[in-house]
Amino acid sequence: METASCSILHTLAFSNNTATATINNNHHLFLPPKTSPSFSSTFPRNFNFHGKPLQFNGFAAFSSPSSAQSQNPPQELAVLLEVDGVIMDAYRLGNRQAFNLAFQKLGLDCANWTEPVYSDLVRRSAGNEEKMLVLYFNRIGWPTSLPTSEKEPFVKSVLQEKKNALEELMLKSLPLRPGVEDFIDDACNKGIPVIILTAYGRSGEKTARSIVEKLGDERLSKIKVVGNEEVEKSLYGQLVFGKGMSSSLDEQLAKEARKAASAEKQRIAEEVASLLKVSVNIDTSSSERLEKIVASLRAGAEIAEVPVCNCILVAGSKSGLAAAEQIGMPRVALRSSFTSRAEFPTANAIMDGFGGPDLTISKLCQKRWS
């Protein structure tokens, strides 16, 4: 199992001719010591790379003496891809439509979200869908037959119908994100392992795997998909979820510290609440979700047989980026319609899409690791 931190400090670099890339110089990559054992992979690789280093904005790129040499990855490298916002930008093409289908299914004929209405609700709620519905019905009026005490269940029922509608749209009519197939093909042609992560995400694993199937059988035969089952069977998954050997002392202490911190927050909140005569409950699901994402990333690196610090996560979610930062995995944020105005302070780079001036395998290979 690879180590979470490595001894030599490195930085991630992208070609300086990418106008849309935003580089965060405060983040660093770590590589294992030269004495680290080599990994025998089922993926074909050729990691010979020669070139003269050039400095661009504090990062190093390679100027290769020949185009043939520039096609080779500099060394062990793997690419991990999220599904939501990366493989498919469902929220640009289907989210608003899914809400309108949900309104129709529930007989809410007066409810219809045009593009301007939807955009305004997303902006005012910061993308929180429950808040979007509350804001909207506060504006136009709630159903007359709905008691005040039933507003919360009503909102949840709309969201469930919306989720069902979106899943159907994603499976039947929504296309993959432009350029993602070429990106994957390019990685496979260069011998770079591609891992697609379906164990976490807004759409759920079942829908995520169905989306991945749109890549086609031939392409799927060259990549690996990591879902909940693969995570649980991985070495790290067995350690964390208690189905194998016990975790290391450091991991146990870190986990217990997080539990203690959550318990202390809850205790303080309850004391304050008792003085105010209100009830309160601290949500600890975010930390549990982060642990699940970390396990998925480590499982992906394990299946690729590449150290965590040599894997690059292409993420559409802030939670994925946060988990990758926690374990020292390089990370690229890929903007989608859902996150078009979001900031990604934990990302090493930010891109708007695949291909051309945006994210390509060549740009990932033009970083310097020494």
- Per-residue pLDDT 10s for the chain (370 aa) are 444 333 323 334 443 343 444 334 343 333 344 333 333 333 444 333 333 332 223 333 333 334 444 445 445 899 999 998 899 987 767 888 999 999 999 999 889 999 889 888 988 887 788 999 999 999 999 998 888 889 999 999 999 999 899 888 887 888 999 999 999 999 999 999 999 999 988 778 888 998 999 999 999 999 999 999 999 999 888 887 765 444 455 655 666 666 666 566 656 655 665 666 544 444 444 677 888 899 999 999 999 999 999 999 999 988 999 999 999 999 999 998 777 777 899 999 999 999 989 999 998 887 643 3
Question: Token digits for 161?
Answer: 């119908």
- Between the alpha carbon of residue 318 and those of residues 2, 18, 123, 258, 344, the distances in Å are 24, 22, 17, 20, 7
- Between the alpha carbon of residue 344 and those of residues 22, 24, 277, 317, 350, the distances in Å are 9, 9, 39, 9, 8
Provide the 8-state DSSP code for 229: H
Calculate the dihedral angle through the C-alpha atoms of 259, 248, 313, 67, rounding to the nearest 10 degrees: 160
CA-to-CA distance for 158 and 145, rounded, in angstroms? 16
CA-to-CA distance for 198 and 216, rounded, in angstroms? 16
Contact partners, residue 265, CB within 8 Å, separation at least 6 = 282
**What pLDDT does residue 365 have?**
83
**What pLDDT does residue 298 have?**
96
**What pLDDT does residue 173 have?**
81
**What pLDDT does residue 24 have?**
41
CA-to-CA distance for 23 and 352, rounded, in angstroms? 13
CA-to-CA distance for 10 and 61, rounded, in angstroms? 13
- Between the alpha carbon of residue 145 and those of residues 122, 141, 148, 150, the distances in Å are 27, 11, 10, 10
Are the beta carbons of 131 and 140 closer than 8 angstroms? no
**What pLDDT does residue 148 have?**
86
- Between the alpha carbon of residue 331 and those of residues 17, 38, 291, 347, 351, the distances in Å are 19, 23, 17, 6, 11
**What pLDDT does residue 8 have?**
29
CA-to-CA distance for 298 and 311, rounded, in angstroms? 10
**What pLDDT does residue 324 have?**
95
Domain 91-173 fold is DNA polymerase; domain 1 (1.10.150)
Continuous segment of H or E residues that includes residue 9: strand 8-10
**What pLDDT does residue 43 have?**
41
In the chain, CATH 1.10.150 sits at 91-173
User: How crowded is residue 197: how many other Cβ atoms within 10 Å of its Cβ?
Assistant: 31
CA-to-CA distance for 195 and 201, rounded, in angstroms? 15
**What pLDDT does residue 145 have?**
87
**What pLDDT does residue 74 have?**
47
**What pLDDT does residue 32 have?**
41
- Between the alpha carbon of residue 223 and those of residues 33, 191, 256, 293, the distances in Å are 28, 11, 36, 20
* CATH code at 78-89+176-241+281-366: 3.40.50.1000
**What pLDDT does residue 64 have?**
37
